[in-house]
Homo-oligomer: A and B are copies of this chain.
Amino acid sequence: MLNNTALLAVGPDPNCNENVHGSDIERLVLLIFGGAVIFMQCGFAMLEAGFLPKHGVANILFKNMSDSFVGLLGFYIFGYALAFGGNFDEGETGIILGTRGFALAGVSSCELPFFLFQYAFAATSVTIISGALGTRSSFTTYMTYSFLFPAFIYPLPAHWLWAKKGWLLTGSSNVGVADFAGAGAVHMVGGMAALVGCMLAGPGFDRGTQSNFKRNPPHSIPLVVLGLFILSFGFLFFNGGSVVSYTLRVNTHALSGIGLAMINTVLAASGGGLAMVAHSKLRRGVLSITRAVNGSIAGMVAVSACAGFVQPWAALIVGVAGGISYLGFSTVLQRRRVDDAIDASSAHFAPGACGLLLGPWLFFQQGIVYDPSPDAFRRFGWHVLGVLVLSLWTAALSFVMFVALKLTGVLLVSEFADRYGVDRFEHDEVAYDVPRESNIQTLTQTS
């Protein structure tokens, strides 16, 4: 007996268990908030396009578009299973990785909201890399890491930190790493992979001499700021939705925490942004927009370590610290002539680590400033360990991947393409079509 509407009862198990998969409202939060996090792809694309010089804008936009495509396949086929396969079926997941649910095989439809939310996070992490390498990575490189990173590099830290049995989460004697919304799993991991890629790529031909390692000015501040606002919108839901994804693993419900996480996000954005505004005004006498943008992002990255766990005043402090950590890291990288096209590794890795290290001091009631107990210090120790482990894991695997690409000679586009303009060379399209003849004509006629 066929019936059109019966078709909706798809998937192996439509009868969701509230205690396992969350309530109707919680799954709705994952879906709506997850949709808003996916929209961060748009923010990254606009931000990166705005920051780059004009001749590579089409290329970077193409990359941002394609990493949604390719990255999704990597996460769908391999990543989710390694990170969370079996996570909702007790006893079916290890402390290192998951081993089932490849290509969503056998996954309950009740688990799909969680999948969507986690995909949004993985996609965010991938995008950090495309921004850092900018227009210089070749198409082959780009397709390779966009697939491999969310398939094999990202999932393990995500498992360690967020799967029910992940070893960093569980720690020892009830104390482990609390990475609320991905300061470690998303931003440190993505930022470190970006950093390794940039270091292996070396500085671009247009980055000046030793004494003058300058970045090209942004070709469009409106795109940069548009990107920031879209990212800020997404971050609200990135941190807010994490309340649900974080608590799902322990079968508790904490909807009231979403408000706190979202408010802490805007406060940290303010803190990071204002710190950079103050710095650029006091040190250079100008109000630097690019610094303020990156400072604000850094603040939101930092607070993603603890947005659901700290009081608003503490979130403001974490934001300021995140901004400063970005500035410091960026300065060091510039001195060492690491060519990160849009400072992506500085704006993600450094504040991510900073947030993770600050959290154990500021966690409400349980932080060291509230209660300097042995357990609180042990937690700080676990967080230090977490920062090291995440850094090493990502650095090692990214190094292998990028070195392999470098040895086979496909890491970067040719210097010719770079000088000629990668937009014309690889895409036969330019970001802005300026009808040249007419302009020249006008000018000629006038002069």
A408 within 8 A of B: no
A289 touches B58 (CB 8 A): yes
Contact (Cβ within 8 A) B296 A65: yes
Q: Using an 8 Å CB-CB cutoff, how does the interface string of A115-152 with B read, 1 for contact, 0 for none?
A: 11001000000000000000000010000000000000
Cross-interface CB contact of A119 among B45, B246, B266, B427, cutoff 8 Å: B266
Contact: A222 with B14, CB < 8 Å? no
Q: How far is the CB of A18 from chain B (nearest CB, A)?
A: 11
- Bound: A245/B38 CA distance, A: 23
| Stretch of A91-99, A172-180, A191-199, A349-357 lying at the B interface | A172-180
**Contact flags A286-309 to B (C-beta < 8 A → 1, else 0):** 111110110010000000000011
Which of A20-28, A333-341, A393-401 participates in binding chain B? A20-28
Stretch of A82-90, A182-190, A211-219 contacting B (4+ beta carbons < 8 Å): A211-219
- Choose one: B8, B24, B217; the contact of A243 (CB below 8 Å): B8
Given the known inter-chain contacts A7-B308, A116-B259, A256-B11, please indicate yes or no for A229 contacting B39, CB distance below 8 A. Answer: yes
With A14-B256, A72-B270 known as contacts, the answer to whether A219 contacts B427 (CB < 8 A) is no
A61 and B225 within 8 A (CB): yes
Q: Would you give the 0/1 interface string for A49-88, flagging 1 where the beta carbon is closer than 8 Å to chain B?
A: 1000110011001101110111011001000000000000
- Chain A at the B interface: mostly helix, strand, loop or mixed? helix
- Contact A287 B427, beta carbon cutoff 8 Å: yes
Interface contact A270-B32, CB-CB below 8 Å: no
> A31's contact among B216, B222, B258, by CB below 8 Å, is which?
B258
A16: chain B residues at CB < 8 Å are 256
Interface residues on chain A, number (Cβ under 8 Å) = 143
Cβ proximity bits A223-266 to B, threshold 8 Å, 1 near / 0 not: 10110111011001100100100110110101111111011001
Q: Is A273 engaged at the interface, CB distance under 8 Å to the other chain?
A: yes
Q: How many copies does the complex hold?
A: 3
Q: Could you say which residues of chain B place their CB within 8 Å of the CB of A433?
A: 53-54, 216-220
A446 proximal to B (CB < 8 A): yes
What 1/0 mask marks residues of chain A from 141 to 168 whose CB sits below 8 Å from any chain B CB?
A: 0000000000000000000000000000
Chain B hits for A103, CB < 8 A? 312-313
Docked pose: A254 CA to B11 CA in angstroms: 12
Distance to closest chain B CB from A48 (angstroms): 11
B286 and A428 contacting across the interface, CB-CB below 8 Å: yes
**Nearest-neighbor residue (CB-CB) of A382 within chain B:** B4
> A222-B220, A277-B66, A286-B428 in contact; A8/B259 too (CB < 8 A)?
no
Which residue in B115, B225, B274 is a CB contact (below 8 Å) of A259? B115
Known: A10-B260, A103-B313. Is A228-B65 also a contact (CB below 8 A)?
Answer: yes
- In the docked arrangement, what's the CA distance between A446 and B287, Å? 29
A36 at the binding interface (Cβ < 8 Å): yes
| Distance of A17 Cα from B440 Cα, bound (Å) | 67
Tell me if A269 and B229 are in contact (CB < 8 A): no
**Chain B residues with CB below 8 A from A412, complex form:** none
- Check if A385 is an interface residue, CB within 8 A of chain B: no
Q: Which of A14, A28, A252, A375 is most buried by chain B, counting CB atoms within 10 A of its CB?
A: A28
Q: CA–CA, A293 to B313, complex, Å? A: 39
Q: 13 pairs across A/B with beta carbons < 8 Å?
A: A2-B366, A8-B254, A11-B364, A14-B256, A28-B255, A35-B240, A49-B225, A76-B312, A217-B429, A286-B429, A289-B427, A436-B442, A440-B447
